[in-house]
Structure 1
Amino acid sequence: MHVPMLSDLLIILLLSVGVILLFNRVKLPSIIGYLVTGMVAGPYALGLVHAPAKVNQLAELGVMLLMFIIGLEFSLHSLSRIKRAVFLGGALQVGLTIAAVYVLARGMGSPPATAVFWGFLIALSSTAIVLKLLQEQSQVESVHGQVILAILIFQDLIVVPMMLLVPLLSGQIIGSPWLTVSIMLAKMLGVLVLVVLGAKYLMPRLLLLVARTRSRELFLLTIIGTCVGVAWLTAEAGLSMALGAFLAGLIISESEYSYEAVSNVMPFREVFASFFFVSIGMLFDVQVLLEYPVRILLLTLGVMALKVLLTPAAAAFLRVPVRAVLLAGLALCQVGEFSFILSLAGLEAGLISHSSYQLFLAISILTMCLTPVVMLVAEPVVSHMMRVPLPQALQEHLHPEPPNAEPATSLGESVLDNHLVVIGYGLNGRNLVRAAKHAHIPYVIVDTDADTVHRQLKRGEPILYGDATHAHVLEHVRIERARVVVVAISDPAGSLRVVAAVRRLNPEACIIVRSLYLHERKELYQLGATEVIAEEMETSIEILARVLARYLVPLHEIDALVRQLRGGNIVRPSSLTGAEWSGMHVGLAGLELATVPVPDEAVLVGKTLSESEMRQHYGINLLAIRRNGHMLDQMRPDTIIHGHDTLYVFGKPDQVERLAHELHADETFA
């Protein structure tokens, strides 16, 4: 690599760091920062970059990886629940925008092909900016968030046929257009056949072999190699590399390895995508903005107003609440990043002139810069608009119930919430899953053993292949909604990274970690583990208890000694056996809500609640009884306590412990 190229990369990286830091301070998306970086460093401003062609080559890699990621995340199964919103809402939004822009462009004197192409450019919105803002506002799973997501998905997919139509619109096709289109479709069909065969037969076997090696480097090389290989194949067939990258992602997306693939490729995508946006910024002539500020501002506001009007018109056919329709229109008012790719293709094909291209860049960048402000004021603006009475017919059409209030998860149709996440499916993980099934606790498993994941998926287990140290993998198991996370892997360093990643995404979850040695506990607790169970300590305690039992030491003395050992060595309650069951509690100002099992021979069995006099004897309140998997929450004086009941009691810890000990003492001496 030549020194000028290195100096250009250094300038771009250093300038990007400064600009992105500034933009983060003022709460603007980083994409806009990259565009500004390109403008400042480009030939039309300071001219700091001396080899823009080399930067553009890196930008092409960024585009390819962007399309590859879209293909990876395009799961037919996960999108099945919102397919109506994707294909109906998305098609209407894109179609209406193209039609409206075509009419306006023709009225301004543009040729038909150019007018259609302008419609292509204006129809697309920024997936990166909008989703980032929705995530920051925790609105992705709202009704309007799902409508926005559906339309953005369609826009990302429609980019591919739009790019294929550019040569046809530009008149570059020699001979019969229909023959050329037929040949192009035949090539696409041939590539798709190869993709389907590869996705069904080749890639699953290849990825299984690679995943079995447990080599992250080999896995990454295989994923990137697949992307580049299919992109090269489509380029050789006369199609675009972006289409090939998208199809490569699609090959892997339906396999159990897609989440791990996204996690590995994501850092590269971010780096190369940044060069793409910087390269776009370098192509923008700031002088155009200074020469025609009023014209550019009016056109920018016109584009945003047009999309604000047309997007709700499309979303209205989805029969979602009026509020969601209006919020979707405001959120999708900008021009998207894939419009930049299309604009470059149109410029090369002669569909738009250089001056029109500069005008388009100015409008697009301004719409992106204004999007955070628009989304910030969207809620109060829509609330004000909702006060305007609508005609009765329109109110009936805009149905108040959303078709899909909850998004589908990638691990099944049910929505994961308040669930258990088991990281590692060894002996501990399998036993825990078996117990979760018995107790009807929703759970999901994460493991890096390809064979295990392959087998368990066939058995219907909700298991995901991936490295739990990656945030992307954790997000797919809804870690932010999990109640308990159990880290049951044998890698001490990996456990540390997993705990840190989980705690960063879910500050409230209970994280229980299995460790091998006592000295590993301190750092795990520092990183956010709620409870660490060291096998070294548990083995020694189990041996101690069994030895003392052989010498006929009373069980309550063994329990006391175990509690003393644990109190001095491990900051956690004693094992969940017998009386210690009551240690599972929620503390409330010196009181606890605890569960106490009732053995068959306990003195309370066969007594009514009034006869048990639990309040008088133990000073605790009985809230509910769980019996045969069902909850008895109506506590009456004549309710009889049965063996194997589980009592839900509320009281002071020592009182709960005394009740539990006496019940199990009855069992011991019976």
Structure 2
Amino acid sequence: MASELVFTTDLMLVLGAAATGGYIVSRLGQPVLLGYLGSGLVIGPLGLNLIRDTANIQELAEIGVAFLLFALGVQFSLEELNRVRNIALQGSLLQIGITTGLVTTILLSFGWVDALAQGIFWGALLSLSSTAVALKTLTERGETNTRHGQIMLAILIAQDLALGLMLAVVPAINQPGPLWQVVGFVLLKVTSFLVAAVLVGRFAIPVVIRQIALTESNELFLLTLIALCLSVAIVTARLGLSIEIGAFVAGLMIAEVDYADQALGKVLPLRDTFASLFFVSIGMLIDPEVLIQNLGKILSLVSLVMVGKALVILPIVLLFGYSLKTAVLTSCGINQIGEFSFVLAVVGLENELITQETYLLLLGTTAITLVLTPTSLQLAEPLIHWVHQQPQLMSFLRKLESSQQSLEEGAIANHVVVAGYGRVGGVVVELLHRQNHPVLVLENSEAAVQSLRRQRIPFVMGDADAELILARANLTTAKALVIALPDPMSTRLLLKRARAIAPKLDIIARAHTTKELDQLSQLGAQEVVQPEFEAALALCTHLLATLGQIDDQLGMTMAKIRADHYQAVRRNI
């Protein structure tokens, strides 16, 4: 009875500390997992020593890792990966391979590791970036649907997929025998397991899940998911693979089932609860003295990692034909070490690929890179502007900003240029095309270009704010320019360059925030449209007409609000 009370007390302390630490760092605008790490340090053996039986917490933490990887597998989306599949798959493979190769070479050259296996492990570990932190940063900046946002998320999804393979290979690379034979045997074992899992996932799992769902019992549905996750994890452990790869594969088996979204909704609370135990348990291993004594080394590692990964990612994005701006933003957004590196680090520690002290240095380095991610992305814009002010450097970089498609219908004049063929730009192009107005689209999405090609609408493929793309748009002979880009920075840059090329051109721009209304107007846009305000005006127009407002008076009122850039209604929002 006493031992049960000790366990219950320890569990209460861990969860309470995680909630408190997570709340504090969240209020400071930082990732909550840093709060979990900090709370683990405070209550752990090297802190206040409040936890008396860490072994039980460690066992629960392993379940947390299993749920973490299970949810990752369920969330895996081939559709999202397919949007920018070339850079997602080939680019990620290049990024992981180059990072691993460089890290291994550097560590072996300076004698910082004793064996090739250790260098490869470090390279794999540092090649991973943080999906959670990058997505949070993009969301806060309103850039999830931008070109660089899509590329970042695609690379991160591919990295998450590669994590499953890393978790299978890492325990084997330190085994005796030629490395290629050991890894080859593990890959053969993983492939055989995946084939069996795909067959079961395709034919058996949907039937079982469907029958459980027909009971309309939430309890049975959740229990089935937990049993599937843990059972597949145990099978992989019996095969000599890690439980993490088993949990990930179990998630993949659910991902293609009709009830995948429902399954994810049920598992997420469990994942978040047990995952917090995992990160707290990591925090318990942190020795503050080691971190303080090695602070200079940690800060040096942070600089090397963030600058080094950015320099690896930058040319890869350029290699796939994207602009310098997109490449810089992408490289500055995913140059941190990811939260799943913690999972890989634990496996490496268990297999003696890293020492305890090295593990602690890694924890400190990872935590700092996660904190600095938003700042790194903020520094991208000044860096891009500085590069554009260097004539010699820009003359070289312009060769990389090449249009991937040219006009299909020869020269064009007296036309309307539409930058962006998304939800807004697509409607504009459709209406202009129906009215037989000449239109030219600037777009960098292959899927959008395919649609334009089918409709025989002239286009130039590439980033709309690139100088070479604008040179092909014939702005000096155009009647108007409509900027419907999802990226605020691209919108401003395009507006500046277009105004410099054609000072008298009628430019209509889409603003994403109230602040942008004034910025774009000052940069020379004749008309700036803010979607939220326009939606409100449309609702009010219908409402006031219903209440008996005269159409002429109503039209004049709305026109005055638009002419004044919504000043009359801004103070109320």
Quickly say closer, same or farther: Cα 1:41–1:381, change in 2 above 3 A: farther
Q: Which aligned runs of 4 or more in structure 1 are off by greater than 6 angstroms?
A: 414-418, 649-652
Structure 1 residues 650 and 302 mapped into 2: Cα distance closer, same or farther (>3 Å)?
closer
Q: Are 1:325 and 2:327 matched, yes or no?
A: yes
What is residue 153 of structure 1 aligned with on the other side? Answer: 157
The letter of the residue matching 2:256 is E
CA distance in 2, matches of 1:302, 1:619: 66
Structure 1 length-normalised TM = 0.59
Q: Write the deviation string for residues 356-377 of structure 1: whole angstroms up to 9, x where unpaired.
A: 2222222122222222333344
Report what 1:142 is aligned to. Answer: 146
1:18-59 deviation per Cα after TM superposition (whole angstroms, max 9, x unaligned)? 222221222111111111111112222222222222211121
Q: Match for residue 169 of structure 1?
A: 173
Render the CA deviation track for 1:129-171: whole Å, top value 9, x for unaligned: 221222222221111111111111121111222222223431x
CA displacement 1:275-331 (0-9 Å, x = unmatched): 111111111111112112222222221221111211212222222221121111111
C-alpha contact 2:169 2:187 (8 A) present in aligned 1: no
Match in the other structure for 2:285: 283
Aligned to 1:77, what secondary structure does the other structure show? helix
Mapped to 2, the partners of 1:39 and 1:13 lie a distance apart of: 14
Q: Per-residue CA shift, 1:439-475, capped at 9, x if unaligned?
A: xxxxxxxxxxxxxxxxxxxxxxxxxxxxxxxxxxxxx
Q: What is the alpha-carbon distance in structure 2 between the residues aligned to residue 416 and residue 271 of structure 1? A: 38
Q: How many angstroms apart in 2 are the aligned matches of 1:593 and 1:378?
A: 49
| Residues in 1 aligned to 2:160 and 2:385: alpha-carbon distance in whole angstroms | 30
Identify if the C-alpha distance between structure 1 residues 258 and 386 changes in structure 2 by more than 3 Å, giving closer, same or farther. farther
Aligned counterpart for 1:69 among listed residues 68, 71, 75: 71
Percent identity, aligned pairs only, is 36
Q: Which runs of 5+ in 1 are unaligned?
A: 403-413, 419-584, 595-617, 622-648, 653-670
Distance 1:144 1:322 in 2: 11
**Which letter maps to 2:103?**
V
Change (3 A) 1:42 1:313: farther
Matched residue, 1:13: 15
List runs of 5+ in structure 2 lacking aligned partners. 406-420, 426-537, 558-573
2:225 to 223, 228, 246: 223
Alpha carbons of 1:301 and 1:176: their partners in 2 closer, same or farther (altered >3 Å)? closer
* One-letter amino acid of the counterpart of residue 142, structure 2: S
Q: Is the 8 A contact 1:321 1:401 kept in 2?
A: no
CA contact (8 A) 2:171 2:241 kept: no
Match of 2:505 in 1: none
Structure 2 counterpart of 1:27, from 13, 19, 29: 29
1:582-621 Cα shifts (integer Å, max 9, x gaps): xxx8433974389xxxxxxxxxxxxxxxxxxxxxxx9867
Which residue identity lines up with residue 159 of structure 2 in the other structure?
A: Q
Greater displacement, 378-387 / 363-372: 378-387
Say if 1:28 and 1:372, in contact at 8 Å, map to a contact too: no
Contact preservation (8 Å) 1:43, 1:282: yes
Is contact 2:323–2:400 with CA below 8 Å preserved after alignment? no
| Distance change >3 Å, CA 384–CA 179, structure 1 → 2 | closer
Matched with 2:399 is: 396
Equivalent residues of 1:68, 1:245 under 8 A apart: yes
C-alpha distance 198-168 of structure 1, shift in aligned 2 (>3 A) = closer
Q: 1:129 and 2:133 equivalent? A: yes
* d(CA) in 2 for partners of 1:89, 1:208: 38
| From 87, 107, 117, the counterpart of 1:113 | 117
Aligned amino acid, residue 81 of structure 2: L
2:168–2:190 CA contact under 8 A, matched in 1: no
Residue 265 of structure 1, CA deviation: 0.7
Letter in 1 for 2:540: G
- Work out whether residues 126 and 337 of structure 1, in 8 Å CA contact, stay in contact via their aligned partners in 2: yes
TM-score (norm 2): 0.68
| TM alignment of 1:377-456, pairs within 5 A | 377-389=379-391, 390-399=393-402
How far apart are residue 342 of structure 1 and its match? Answer: 1.7
What is the distance in 2 between the residues matched to 1:63 and 1:590?
A: 53
Equivalent position SS for 2:372: helix
Where do residues 541-556 of structure 1 align in structure 2 (5 Å cutoff)?
none
Q: 1:102 to 1:651 in 2, by over 3 A?
A: closer
Max Rg structure: 1
The SS at the match of 1:396 is: coil
Counterpart contact for 1:102–1:115, Cα < 8 Å: yes
Distance 1:592 1:54, change over 3 A: same
Distance 1:153 1:590 in 2: 45
Helix, strand or coil: the match of 1:2? helix
Give yes or no for contact 2:201–2:253 (8 Å, CA) kept in 1: yes
Q: What is the total number of aligned residue pairs between the two structures?
A: 423
Greater relative contact order: 1 or 2 (C-alpha under 8 angstroms, separation 6 or more)? 2
- Structure 1 residues 177 and 113: CA distance shift in structure 2, 3 A: closer
**1:347 equivalent in alignment to 2:300:** no
Following TM superposition, by how much is the alpha carbon of 1:236 offset from its aligned partner in structure 2, in angstroms? Answer: 1.6
